[in-house]
Every structure is written in structure tokens, then in C-alpha cells.
């Protein structure tokens, strides 16, 4: 019964080695030469002038969500393009409907001013 879990355990071990191994190797073999510039809070040359936990405008999040929403259409277009010959005209029309819905949503967001940045 336990031999069924061996591939899972092996996958977890290899995943940990790939994820943690390079960081551990870099920590052990990397040079350690701290100087005042590297130990400063920011390496850009001046101290921070605002709190890092400041509030962001809601429009920033709205634009980010809209970007993710309209960017995900590419995740559907690539597999569709690969199998277009197999799915035929039905798949073509289905994708046209999908893209039409996205265009209508994009126009709606544009008209509402969600993409305007002041």
C-alpha cells in the first residue's frame, strides 16, 4: 500500500530540492561582504520618504483586475488556434462569440472610464 505513495514522495522531495537547493547553495557559497550601502534600507541612494504601507487608489486595483480579465483571453486563444482544424466551423463560431463578448465588455469598461488614469 505504501509503495503507491512513493511517486508522490519522490515528487515532493525533488520539488523541495529544486526550490530550496539553489537558495541554500547561494547562501552557503555566496560572498558575504556587507558595507554601509548594502545595509541601508534602500540602495537607491536616499532614505525612504513615505511609509511602504500607504493606501493605493482603488483605480489601480481596478486596472489590474481588468488587465488580468482581458489578458486571460490569450490563455483560451492559443489552445483554440492549435485545434482549430479538428473542431471546425463550430469552434470558430464559438470563439467569435467569446471574442464578441470580450469586445463588448471592453467597450463597456472604456465608456465607463475605468481605463482612464488621472
Query: Does residue 75 lie within any of the structural domains?
Result: yes
The reply to whether 17 falls in a domain is yes
Residue 78 counted as domain residue: yes
Is 15 among the domain residues? yes
Of 115, 110, 77, nearest to 94 by C-alpha is 77
Give the Cα separation of 3 and 10 in Å (integer). Answer: 11
CATH number of the domain that residue 42 is part of = 1.20.58.1610
Q: Contact, 64 vs 114, CB < 8 A?
A: no
- 33-75 pLDDT, tens digit per residue, is 888 766 766 656 566 666 667 777 777 787 788 888 778 888 8
Write the DSSP string, 10-67: HHHHHHHHHHHHHHHHHHHHS-----HHHHSS-TTSS---S-TTPPPPHHHHHHHHHH
42-46, 55-59, 77-81, 112-116, range with greatest mean pLDDT: 77-81
**Boundaries of domain holding 79:** 2-112
The domain total for the chain is: 1
More confident residue, 36 or 95: 95
Q: What is the pLDDT of residues 4-36, one digit of tens each?
A: 899 999 999 999 999 999 999 999 998 888 887
Q: For residue 117, tell me if it sits in a domain.
A: no
Amino acid at each position: 500500500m505504501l509503495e503507491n505513495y512513493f511517486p508522490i514522495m519522490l515528487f515532493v522531495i525533488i520539488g523541495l530540492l529544486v526550490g530550496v537547493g539553489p537558495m541554500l547553495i547561494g547562501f552557503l557559497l555566496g560572498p558575504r561582504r556587507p558595507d554601509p550601502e548594502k545595509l541601508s534600507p534602500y540602495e537607491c541612494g536616499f532614505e525612504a520618504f513615505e511609509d511602504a504601507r500607504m493606501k493605493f487608489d482603488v483605480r489601480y486595483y481596478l486596472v489590474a483586475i481588468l488587465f488580468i480579465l482581458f489578458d486571460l483571453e490569450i490563455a483560451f486563444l492559443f489552445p483554440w488556434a492549435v485545434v482549430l482544424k479538428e473542431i471546425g466551423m463550430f469552434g470558430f463560431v464559438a470563439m467569435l462569440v467569446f471574442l464578441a463578448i470580450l469586445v463588448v465588455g471592453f467597450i463597456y469598461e472604456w465608456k465607463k472610464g475605468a481605463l482612464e488614469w488621472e
